[in-house]
Amino acid sequence: MAISVFDLFKIGIGPSSSHTVGPMHAASEFVGALRERDLLERVARIEVRLYGSLSATGAGHGTDRAIIMGLMGERPERIDPAIVGPCLEELFESQTLLLDSRWAIPFVWGRDMQWHEECLPHHPNAMTLIAHGHGSELYRNTFYSVGGGFVIDEQQAQAGDLDTDITALPYDFNTAAELLALCRMHSMRISELMMANEKAWRDEADIRAGLWRIWGAMRECVDNGVSHEGVLPGGLNVRRRARKLHQRLLATEDDTSLIASTFSAMDWVNVFALAVNEENAAGGRMVTAPTNGAAGIVPAVLHYYMKFQPDASERDVVDFLLTAGAVGILCKKNASISGAEVGCQGEVGSACAMAAAGLAEVMGASPAQVENAAEIGLEHNLGLTCDPVGGLVQVPCIERNAIAAVKAINAAQMALRGDGDHFISLDKVIRTMRDTGRDMQDKYKETSRGGLAVNAIEC
Ligand code: SF4
C-alpha cells in the first residue's frame, strides 16, 4: 500500500477525521457517483444509515452534519466551517436538502437520518447512503471511514482491497526495520527517503509547497485557538483555556529562571496543543495529524521547535513533517490510526510517536535514534482507550493532546541522549498496539459506552 505524507496530513474541519472528515468525503463521493450515472435529477429522497461507532458517537462528532454538507457537494478541504451552522438551520427549517448544491429534495431529519446500533462486518465506522427515485431505488453504497479521513466503499471492503493507491515507490517499506535498512543501505536520513518516495506523486517544489501549506494551516489553527474564548459547543460546558494561558504566557516571558523557563516551555507546548484541539472541538479548520482527535500533538511539537530553536528553518518544517509521516505510515499499515478500531492509542499514541520522530529528525538524530524516539512515544501510550465524554471530542481529548505533546518531546530527548540502540523495536510496539486494540472491549473504542464517558456522567 502506498501512503503519501499528504494522506496523513490533510486540511479539513473538526471535530473528527473518522466521524466528520471521512463521512463528508463519503457523501461527496456518493453525490459524484450519482452525477456520473446521470441520476442526480431523478433523486426524490436520500436515506442516510449510520452504523456502529458512527452511530454511537456520531451526533457528538457532527457526523450527521458532515454528511449533509457532503451531500450538498462540499468537501472537507474546501469547506468554510462558518457556513455549516446556517446551512443546517436552513435545512431544518425548510426540510429541503440541496443535493450537489443544485437539486432540491425533501429531507426529513427523523425519517432520513437513521442511527443503527448494529455494526457492519468490515469496520466499526460504517454508513450506507441510499438514493430513492419516485417509486424505486436508484443507487446505494456503503462506506467505511477507516481512520484519519480515509474512506473505502463496499466493493473495496469486500475485496479486502484497502490498497487504493498502488503507486510504485523507490524506497517502499512496510516495517520500521525495512525503513532503517533502506536508510543504512542508501546512506539516507528518514526525511530524505520520504522525500524520494513522495516524488513518485509530485515534484519536489510541489511537495515543499504542499507541506508548507500544511504548516500554514496548522499555524492558522493555533492562531484561531488562542484568539477564541468561551464555552465549546455540545452541552458539556467545557471552557476554552488556550487564550487565557496564551495571554498569561505573553505577560510573563521576561522571567528567565530555570524553573520558570522549563515551566514556560511546557506551557507553550500546552497552549499550542490546547489551541488546536479547542478549535477542533468547535468544528474549525484543521489538519489531520494523523486524525482530528489527535491533531494537536504534531503541530504543538513543531511550534515548540520553531519557537525555541533559534536557527529553525523552512527546511526543518518539511523534514519534520516527512519524518512524522513515515511513522504515521508504519502505524497505519501495521496497526491502525482509528480510535474506533484500536482505541486512543491508535490516535494519540500514533501522533505522539510521529511528533517524537519529527522532532528527533530536525534535532539531528540518526535514523536509529528517530526510530527509538517514535518507539518511546508510542510505547507509553499503549492500552490507551477511547472514551470521549458525551461522544464529544473534548474530554479527555483536548488535554490528552497537550500531555502527549510533552511526552513526545521527552521521547525525542531520551532518544537523542542514547545511541539508537534499545530494547523494544518500534515494530514490536506497533504490533502490540494492534494486538491490544484487538483485545480491547468495544466499549473503549469510540462508542462512549465505557471509561470516562460513563463515569463522568455517573459522578
Ligand atoms: S479519546 Fe482519543 S481516540 Fe477517542 S475521540 Fe478522543 S482523541 Fe480521539
Q: Is 386 in the pocket of ligand 1 (CB under 6 A)?
A: yes
Q: How many domains does the chain have?
A: 2
151 shares its domain with 186: no
45 shares its domain with 194: no
User: From atom 1 of ligand 1, which residue's Cα is the shortest distance away?
Assistant: 386
CB-based contacts of 425, cutoff 8 Å, min separation 6: 176, 177, 371, 375
Residue 141 reports pLDDT greater than 50: yes
Residue 162 reports pLDDT greater than 70: no
Instruction: State the burial class of residue 419 (Cβ atoms within 10 Å of its Cβ: 0-12, 13-18, 19+).
Output: exposed
Residue 4 lies in a domain: no
Atom of ligand 1 nearest to the CA of 292: 8
Q: Sorting pLDDT into bands at 50, 70 and 90, what band is 154?
A: very high
pLDDT value at position 2? 93
Rounded to the nearest angstrom, the distance between the alpha carbon of 417 and the centre of ligand 1 is 31
308 shares its domain with 401: yes
Q: Is 389 in the pocket of ligand 1 (CB under 6 A)?
A: no
User: From atom 4 of ligand 1, which residue's Cα is the shortest distance away?
Assistant: 386
126 shares its domain with 230: no
Contact 295, 277 (CB under 8 A): yes
Counting residues of the chain whose pLDDT is more than 90, the rounded percentage is 92
Q: Is 339 in the pocket of ligand 1 (CB under 6 A)?
A: yes
Indicate the top mutation candidate among 288, 350, 381, 386 to test ligand 1's pocket, ranked by most ligand atoms within 8 A of CB. Answer: 386
Residue from 138, 139, 142, 140 nearest 151 by CA: 142
Contact 77, 11 (CB under 8 A): yes
The last residue of one of the domains, among 159, 192, 214, is 159
What's the pLDDT tens digit per position in 30-53? Answer: 999 999 999 999 999 999 999 999
Contact 285, 13 (CB under 8 A): yes
Strands 45-51 and 113-115: parallel
Q: Sorting pLDDT into bands at 50, 70 and 90, what band is 159?
A: confident
What's the pLDDT tens digit per position in 424-453? Answer: 999 999 999 999 999 999 999 988 899 999
Q: Is 349 in the pocket of ligand 1 (CB under 6 A)?
A: no
Domain that holds residue 414: 176-455
183 shares its domain with 125: no
CATH number at 119 reads 3.30.1330.90
Q: Is 341 in the pocket of ligand 1 (CB under 6 A)?
A: no
pLDDT value at position 459? 44
pLDDT value at position 456? 87
Residue 143 lies in a domain: yes
User: From atom 8 of ligand 1, which residue's Cα is the shortest distance away?
Assistant: 293
pLDDT, average across residues 244-266: 82
Which of these ranges, 256-265, 388-397, 403-412, has the smallest mean pLDDT? 256-265
pLDDT value at position 275? 98
Residue 150 lies in a domain: yes
